[in-house]
Structure 1
Amino acid sequence: MPRFKAYNYDQNAMVVINYQDQLQPGTFEHAVHYLIEHKLDLSVFHPKYRNDATGRLAYDPAILLKIILFAYSKGITSSREMQWCCETNIIFKALSCDTVPHFTTLASFVSRHADEIEALFEQVLLVCHEQGLLGNELFAIDGCKMSSDASKEWSGTFKELGEKRDKLRGLIRHHLLEHHARDEAETEADLDRDIRRAKMILSLDDAMNKVDRFLKTNSPRMGRGKRIKEVKSNLTDNESAKMTTSKGTIQGYNGVATVDKKHQIVIDAQAFGEGQEHHTLQPVLETVEARFKKLGIAENIYQQGTVVTADTGFANEANMKYLHEQQINGYIPDNQFRSRDPQFADQKKQIRQAPPELTR
């Protein structure tokens, strides 16, 4: 038999590396590193820091941004996982200069600097324009459903939430009556049961107060369909919505992105707490127009021949009227477009005429 050199993966090794060498030109990590170091103005983050004279040193926003943006490019959105990557992954180590920000630091940076990060996005877009990466010939708009951290069990109309509060109040009264019916525990088992019942009463009381506070401090959410009616609110995240997806019902957001055709660069991304996409088209188009005007890319981008496309989820009469009035060259198919296409009609005819064993 041939003989081979033995190998063992379960071993440690000391390897001398240069972090700059790990960020090779032509890679995404190099692009992120170069943009943040040489092209972007990060002074927008400085006003929220208060450690000029006292307090410990803070992580440079450049380091945190590199970690977060590279993590996002890999589909990593958990701050804990980002911290783990900084401990174990060589590219993350190179981008972070071998620092390991705590996951709470990463999470806090994202939550505290939402406006500053949006301003940074506009800086990146301007760099893309200067480099000739934007074609401004065709913008494609599409959306996807994204889950939020809110529980859909805490959703409902104000009437439904009121009924939930009354039901919780009834359960509390029921358990209190049972508790008072027993003046004292006779056995250890009885004592354990009374303790469990007391904990349940406290939990129910907390839930009831949560619903009651929400109903007293908020107003019903109204939809924007043809017939305006109340939509379900959510106690945890009232900006999110209950929506149906191919994988079931979720509590979350409708993420809508606009992409420039030339190099598939995202020029706008927004999250809407609405299950339907109809009502998102106008605000998306207006945001893109305002951003391009603000950055000096185009005074009125849609009057320069830019074509806008979107799928059937954005098709309704109001949107067609809006596109016409604003003279926007938009292409949005309605739900019946396939039935009018001869190609699809011929395919359906062939399927109907095919033997049953070929259509299974």
Structure 2
Amino acid sequence: MSRKIIFKTYDQDQLSLLPPSYDELVPVNHPVRIVNKIIDHIDISALEASYKGGGTSSYHPRMLLKVIIYAYLRNLYSSRKIEQALHENIHFMWLSGQSRPDHNTINDFRGKRLQGHLKKIFHQVVLLLVEQGVISLKDIYVDGTKIEANANRYTFVWGKSIKTSRERIKKQLKELWSHVEKVYKDEQHIPNTPDFEAIDAEKVEATINQINDALQGREVDKKVRQKLNYAKKNWPTNMAKYQKQEAILKERNSYSKTDPDATFMRMKDDHMQNGQLKPGYNVQASTNNQYLTNYTLAQTTADTTTLKEHVSDHIENYNETPETLTADAGYGSEENYTDLEDKNITAFVKYNYFHKEQQDEKKGKNNPFHPEQLHYNKGTDTYYCPMGQAMTNIGSHKKKTKNGFEQEIHRYQAQNCNGCPLRGLCHKSKHDRIIERNYNLMRLKAKARTLLTGEQGIAKRKQRCWDVEAVFGNIKHNMNFKRFMLRGIDKVRVEIGLIAMAHNLKKYSLTVQDFTATFQSNISNRF
């Protein structure tokens, strides 16, 4: 016997006595309420003051800020998709109060209005989380990740290519001048030789004109005349182009033509999975308890030169110096160790070969020929090789890094390596062995080694892996943010700030079960 099938009532024309409000349709602990509540308690007076006034009315910046942050929290990065969500998604409609700005308004607000303001807003949110005991600014973990720029992957300018082209023009100018010298070799009056070293667009043009004038009315090979005409037409223009490109490059080795602020970097998550170079930005991040506490952008591929500026930015924005900082070997340099020491920050920062040292120590490996293993007599300032031969100090010199940091290097040389039975194992130089020692770096490395191998250092090294790297994993894979939407470093700074804020609020929404009660009780003490 079949049972009667019963369906729930379905009537699209059914009227309600009172129409439901959007507030009733948004759950109490929904992330959109967290975004709404927190941004309501953030000071955006500086952002509001950036509006000139007059003319037609503007959408309120607080509403636009809420919408964009919540969009990034929901993995919506396109201004057109955000516009669509404002028409279709109940949470967006509730958050915006049914305001419906178009994609141009959203994009202008994100790319222009928020410049110079979002970083301060981000830090206010972080301080709010600090006051609620969620994170601490005293203990930070630092790392960097590369994110692809919104730029063409195949339109690029390379610094080495510019240098090669300039050298080629210089060489060909010399070759053209050699024809002038041949023409005038039997004459007493020889034209003054141009300056081929310091060449720019104006000097190249002047040199070409000088060569042309010298050969005027003279019998010259047809190919030489053709080359001279080509040089006159193209080389000054090319040199002017190279000068402009070098002004954009500055200290970098490459940039993208479609986003000149982006540098070509080798990224792990390449779209073709073959380690291809792509235009991008090096994002430096500080974290605590898997929350982002600070971010900066770098245009260099290496992390080493970014730490000083990143730490200074943290101190400037929070007016507080962190007590400890943990980072991997990419930041282990004399300059960084010195800077952290000057700031009284306990640095759990690895250096190159730290892990190899630990492995060799466990395996009992010991290279007696390594400079670190040579016996040193501090009283006589002398090293002794494994054969017992003295290596005396032959002087010291100072050198500067790319950042201008000055290092002092001491050199020691053996007296006579000829006939030594251990020479093949000791060194491969044709002359007597020379070693270089940087005593300040040696001291700093010894200090770092002591910290890293201590109980606290081991705990910090373990925590760094799941603290800061987990944040990058969430941003790139869970939030699917692998490529910037905006172009230009100022706009990209805004976008990474939005991502950082969205990450923090999303994580906070997952950790707070009863958000309304918790936040309201804490916020009432603050305001």
Q: How many residues align?
A: 281
CA distance in 2, matches of 1:341, 1:152: 41
- Structure 1: tracts of 5 or more residues without a match: 166-208, 224-229, 347-360
CA distance in 1, matches of 2:134, 2:238: 50
TM-score (norm 2): 0.47
Larger RCO, structures 1/2 (Cα 8 Å, 6+ apart): 2
- Structure 2: tracts of 5 or more residues without a match: 167-236, 364-527
CA distance in 1, matches of 2:239, 2:101: 37
Whether 1:21 and 2:21 are equivalent positions in the alignment is no
SS of the equivalent of 1:152 reads: coil
Instruction: Map residues 308-347 of structure 1 onto 2, 5 A cutoff.
Output: 308-341=325-358
- State the match for 1:187 in structure 2: none
Q: Deviations over 1:230-276 (max 9, x none)?
A: 61133332221100011232101011111123xx3322112211211
CA distance in 2, matches of 1:145, 1:12: 54
- State the match for 2:44 in structure 1: 42
CA 218–30 in structure 1, closer or farther in 2 if over 3 Å, else same:
same
Whether 1:260 and 2:262 are equivalent positions in the alignment is no
TM-score (norm 1): 0.67
- State the match for 1:77 in structure 2: 77
CA distance in 2, matches of 1:259, 1:40: 21
- State the match for 1:89 in structure 2: 89
Q: Deviations over 1:146-176 (max 9, x none)?
A: 11112232322356359899xxxxxxxxxxx
CA distance in 2, matches of 1:142, 1:279: 12
CA distance in 2, matches of 1:219, 1:238: 11
SS of the equivalent of 2:117 reads: helix
Report deviation, 1:65. Answer: 0.7
CA 3–256 in structure 1, closer or farther in 2 if over 3 Å, else same:
farther
Instruction: Name the amino acid aligned to 1:251.
Output: P
CA distance in 2, matches of 1:105, 1:214: 38
SS of the equivalent of 2:339 reads: helix
- State the match for 2:106 in structure 1: 106
Report deviation, 1:281. Answer: 1.0
- State the match for 1:135 in structure 2: 136
Instruction: Map residues 180-191 of structure 1 onto 2, 5 A cutoff.
Output: none
Instruction: Name the amino acid aligned to 1:237.
Output: D
CA distance in 2, matches of 1:274, 1:235: 17
Whether 1:241 and 2:263 are equivalent positions in the alignment is yes
Conserved 8 A contact 1:258-1:268: yes
CA distance in 2, matches of 1:88, 1:314: 47
CA distance in 2, matches of 1:139, 1:18: 44
Q: Deviations over 1:79-103 (max 9, x none)?
A: 1221122222221121112222211
CA distance in 2, matches of 1:14, 1:283: 62
CA distance in 2, matches of 1:344, 1:137: 33
CA 74–157 in structure 1, closer or farther in 2 if over 3 Å, else same:
same
Instruction: Name the amino acid aligned to 1:287.
Output: D
Report deviation, 1:35. Answer: 1.9
Q: Deviations over 1:304-335 (max 9, x none)?
A: xx211112332333322322333311112234
Identical-pair percentage: 22
SS of the equivalent of 1:219 reads: helix
Conserved 8 A contact 2:23-2:94: yes
CA 41–13 in structure 1, closer or farther in 2 if over 3 Å, else same:
farther
Report deviation, 1:288. Answer: 0.7
CA distance in 2, matches of 1:324, 1:337: 19
Whether 1:231 and 2:231 are equivalent positions in the alignment is no
Conserved 8 A contact 2:155-2:256: yes
Instruction: Name the amino acid aligned to 2:107.
Output: A
Whether 1:61 and 2:61 are equivalent positions in the alignment is yes
Conserved 8 A contact 2:159-2:253: no
Instruction: Map residues 153-164 of structure 1 onto 2, 5 A cutoff.
Output: 153-158=154-159, 160=161
Conserved 8 A contact 2:139-2:324: yes
SS of the equivalent of 1:126 reads: helix
CA distance in 2, matches of 1:242, 1:328: 33
Instruction: Name the amino acid aligned to 2:148.
Output: S
Greater C-alpha Rg: 2
Aligned alpha-carbon RMSD (Å): 3.6
